[in-house]
């Protein structure tokens, strides 16, 4: 499944989460998706993104999010990832999802009296924040690439003109 569709599914699932444990599970689903997108871009993405994408694929702790038990019996949604058709669109959408995850986790952490759940939220917030930092870094690299790209030779433009065409 394409990255943007999986991200949209994650955003819907997070919005529909009714319990603290559902929110935490969706946070780890989002982290697993961030790792999967990072892995995909590290292998198949633009060259200037591959190093940062490799870092994204490794975020989420020593064990790795794909092994995190709260994901449930269905496992990570991220396992369905088959392509990242447009890196910029996917990274923008992933950044939005990770931001929403962070906000939802702060709400859970503030509302719980359970120390274990609190620390689970803190760990998930840290993972989402680190992933979002990497996503923003990749988006900056894409912006620099676009800015420095030579004009489209196929359209016959050699550069900026100084007078009327």
Mean pLDDT for 68-81 is: 72
Give the position of tokens 């919005």.
15
How much is the pTM? 0.82
117 token code pair: 């759940």
Helix (H) or strand (E) holding 125: helix 115-148
Q: Is pLDDT at 5 greater than 80 in this prediction?
A: yes
Query: Which domains, ranges and CATH numbers included, belong to the chain?
Result: 3-151 (1.20.1260)
Give the position of tokens 């939220």.
121
State how far the Cα of 86 lies from the Cα of 2, in Å rounded to an integer: 10
Q: Are 122 and 114 in contact (CB under 8 A)?
A: no
Mean pLDDT for 95-111 is: 97
Q: Are 117 and 108 in contact (CB under 8 A)?
A: yes
Per-residue confidence band for 121, with pLDDT thresholds at 50, 70 and 90: very high
State how far the Cα of 163 lies from the Cα of 68, in Å rounded to an integer: 61
């Amino acid at each position: 499944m394409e990255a943007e569709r999986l991200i949209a599914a994650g955003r819907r699932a997070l919005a529909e989460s009714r319990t603290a444990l559902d929110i935490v599970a969706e946070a780890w689903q989002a982290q697993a998706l961030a790792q999967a997108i990072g892995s995909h871009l590290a292998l198949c993405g633009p060259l200037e993104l591959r190093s940062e994408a490799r870092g994204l694929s490794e975020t989420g702790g020593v064990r790795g999010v794909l092994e995190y038990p709260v994901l449930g019996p269905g496992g990570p949604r991220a396992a369905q990832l088959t392509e990242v058709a447009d890196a910029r669109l996917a990274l923008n959408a992933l950044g939005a999802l990770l931001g929403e995850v962070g906000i939802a986790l702060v709400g859970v952490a503030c509302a719980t009296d359970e120390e274990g759940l609190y620390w689970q939220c803190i760990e998930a917030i840290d993972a989402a924040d680190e992933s979002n930092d990497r996503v923003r870094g990749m988006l900056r690299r894409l912006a620099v690439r676009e800015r420095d790209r030579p004009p489209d030779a196929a359209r016959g433009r050699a550069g900026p003109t100084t007078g009327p065409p």
